[in-house]
Structure formats: structure tokens, C-alpha cells
Structure 1
Amino acid sequence: MIDLSPIELNGHTFLAVTVLLPKTTLLSISNDKGYIMCGALDVGLLNDQLKDRKIVAGRAVGVRTIDQLLNAPLESVTFEAESLGIYKGMIGREALLKMI
């Protein structure tokens, strides 16, 4: 099952995506500038082989719901996210608001 839901943060709309897979769930919250995602995100790949794409993204581990993703500290972020003031340890919700 796939669930797509708009999320409103401080008057800004983001898209929350939940994909139920066998034994795991993929989670992401995005807008047109960037996204945060569950532990399935490979930040190293984005920073190395795909760095020319300048992807703004952050990764939170151990989350199982969109609400947990919003409130979890980011375990890692891309170099491009760092350039916007997003850093490791920042709460997902705060990182999304830096992507406005």
C-alpha cells in the first residue's frame, strides 16, 4: 500500500509518502526543494556519486511513522542540505522548514 498525504508546517505544504513493504516501511516527506526520509536513504551515495545533482536531503533512522520522522533527529544529511543550515541531529520538522 502507498499513502500520499499533504502535511502543513507553519503554513507550508509538504508531501508525506508511506510505502508499506514486506517487513519494512519506507517514509519520506518532501517539497520541491528537498526531503527527509527513513533509514533507507543512502546519504553517502547522494554526497558521492550523485553530488552533481545537489540533492537536499536528510536521513532519520529507527522511525516507523510519518509523525516519528517529523520528530526524529536526523542521523545524516547531504552536503547540499548543510549549505541550507540543516545539520546532523536537527529534528526532521526543523529541517523541512529550512527547505522553504
Structure 2
Amino acid sequence: MVSIEPIELQGHMFTAVTVRLPKTTLLTISSEIGYIMCGALDVQLLNTRLADRKIIAGRAVGVKTIEELLKAPLESVTTEAEKMGIVKGMTGEEALLKMI
């Protein structure tokens, strides 16, 4: 099952997507310029093989819901995200608010 829902944070709109798969759930919340995602995101791949795309993204691990993704500290972020002041340890919500 796939669900898509709008999320408002401090007056800014984001899109949350939940994809329920066998034995796991993929979670992502995106803005117009970047996104945060559950542990399925491969930040190393984005920073190396896809570096030319300049992807702004962060990864949180151990989350099972969109609410947990917003509150969890980011375990890793892309180089492009770092350029925007998004750092490892910042909550998902804090990172998203820098992606507006």
C-alpha cells in the first residue's frame, strides 16, 4: 500500500510518502528541493555515483512512521545538504525547514 499526505511545518507544506512492503516500510518527506528518508536511502551512492545531480537529502535510521522520521536525528546527509546547513544529528523536521 502507498499513502501520500501533505504535512505542514511552521506554515510550509511538505509531502510525506509511505510505502508498505513485505517486512519493511519506506518513508520519505520531501520539499520542492530536497527530502529526508528512512534507512533505505543510500547517502554514499548519492554523494559518489550521483554527485552530479546535487541531491539534497538526509537519512534517519530505525524509524517506522512519518512522525518518527520527523523527530529522529539524521544519521547521514548528502554533501549538498551540508552546504545548506543540514548536519548529521539534526532532527528530520529541522532539516526539512532548511529545505524551503
The one-letter amino acid of 1:86's match is: I
Which residue in the other structure is 2:82 paired with?
82
Cα offset for 1:32?
A: 1.1
d(CA) in 1 for partners of 2:96, 2:25: 20
Which residue in the other structure is 1:65 paired with?
65
d(CA) in 1 for partners of 2:55, 2:38: 16
Cα offset for 1:58?
A: 0.1
Which residue in the other structure is 1:91 paired with?
91
Runs of 4+ in 1 over 6 A off after TM superposition: none
Which residue in the other structure is 1:33 paired with?
33
d(CA) in 2 for partners of 1:16, 1:32: 12
Percent identity between the two aligned chains: 73
TM-score of the two chains, using structure 2 as the length reference: 0.99
Cα offset for 1:47?
A: 0.1
d(CA) in 1 for partners of 2:49, 2:90: 25
The one-letter amino acid of 1:19's match is: V
d(CA) in 1 for partners of 2:37, 2:57: 8
The one-letter amino acid of 1:14's match is: F
SS at match of 2:73: coil
> RMSD of the TM alignment (CA)?
0.3
- Listed as ranges, the gaps of 5+ residues in structure 2 are none
Which residue in the other structure is 1:12 paired with?
12
Cα offset for 1:27?
A: 0.0
TM-score of the two chains, using structure 1 as the length reference: 0.99
